[in-house]
Amino acid sequence: MAIYRLIRLAFVAALAMSLVDVGRAHALSIELKDVAADRVERQRAAAAGALPLPGTPNVAVLQERLRDKGVTLAAPILIRIFKSESELEIWKQKDDAFVLFATYPICHWSGTIGPKLRDGDKQAPEGYYTVTLAQARHVGRWPKSLDIGFPNILDQSQARTGSNILIHGGCSSVGCFAMTNPVLDEIHQLTMAAIESGEEIVPVHVLPFRMTDLNMAAQDSSPWKAFWNNLKEGYDLFERTKRPPAVNVCSGRYIFRETRPGESVGPLDACGPTLMAIREQDQWLSNVPPPTAVLPRLATQSPTQTQQPPIPQIQTSLESDQSPTLMFSWSLVR
């Protein structure tokens, strides 16, 4: 029995030492696995308190920056996200078109370029989304955030699953876009001001990269080339008119229409066949029985064996947008 007491004492001592900096170094080492180098550096900077990130506008002088751009806080906005460049843009309406107000570095997003396909794939989505007043609040870790509305109608027609894809603060994310708290405060303020002043639906364009002809040519061999060609239609229309296009969905594609000056984009709509396909999927899913609960497996022991004290095991868990949590499990050893 003495040996087990020693094991327990050693375990407690090791655990105490590991908890000294578990909130920073330990969480960072797990999250940075298989992440692009630029995102690694931003997470390190945020963990070290080296904020704001390089290239971040001065959020302390918002009103001054608005005056310099000749726009108002209440003016309608458009949000554009470019995953490869790790940048989020805010465009503000000025007269009959939109002007670029600010470009913010994204502190962290997960996955790689390409759309989100299913819940739990830790992939950030791509496509054309919208934010309403109801999506500007979130219950959970990030009460001040923007839910971009994934899955949208096209995602649903392609049976893509997931939920709660947010633009939020901090620098930790699994599927969302983490902007750091000060930057998120400004983005949220700009969005809420626009909504409360009459822009009921804020368009959010999430793109794999800046969709220039040169960047597209570099992706000729990608399996997502056809999907990205479709996204580029909306990108090109906005680049030409500097007004967010109206977006509909039909036959697995986005359909774009040039908007008139001052026209609101409205919600995404879909053609009849697409809506029918979504309804059929919903009916099929409603008939699928829920998965059987998996009971924890216990180690067995023969009656002739003498029971020995359990040896603790440590494992880490990283779920959703939360930092790794230490979990304990006990198993009987023979």
The 10s digit of each residue's pLDDT in 172-214 is 999 999 999 999 999 999 999 999 999 999 999 999 999 999 9
Q: Given this model, what pLDDT does residue 290 score?
A: 52
Query: Which amino acids are annotated catalytic?
Result: 168, 176
Distance between CA atoms of 34 and 55, rounded to whole angstroms? Answer: 25
Q: Given this model, what pLDDT does residue 276 score?
A: 84
- DSSP letter for 49, please: T
* Domain boundaries, given as residue ranges, for the chain: 28-258+266-275
Distance between CA atoms of 235 and 242, rounded to whole angstroms? Answer: 10
Provide mean pLDDT across the span 52-59: 96
Distance between CA atoms of 171 and 56, rounded to whole angstroms? Answer: 14
Q: Given this model, what pLDDT does residue 280 score?
A: 77
What's the predicted TM-score (pTM) here? 0.76
Q: What are phi and psi of 106, to 5 degrees?
A: -80, 125
46 three-class SS = helix
β-partners of residue 35 are none
- DSSP letter for 26, please: I
Q: Given this model, what pLDDT does residue 56 score?
A: 97
pLDDT in tens, 148-173: 999 999 999 999 999 999 999 999 99
Closest to 164 in 3D by CA, of 179, 175, 153: 175
2 three-class SS = helix
Distance between CA atoms of 6 and 326, rounded to whole angstroms? Answer: 22
Provide mean pLDDT across the span 18-36: 42
pLDDT in tens, 75-110: 999 999 999 999 999 999 999 999 999 999 999 999
* Helix runs in the chain, H state only: 2-18, 27-31, 37-47, 62-69, 153-157, 181-196, 213-217, 225-241, 272-286
CATH of domain 28-258+266-275: 2.40.440.10
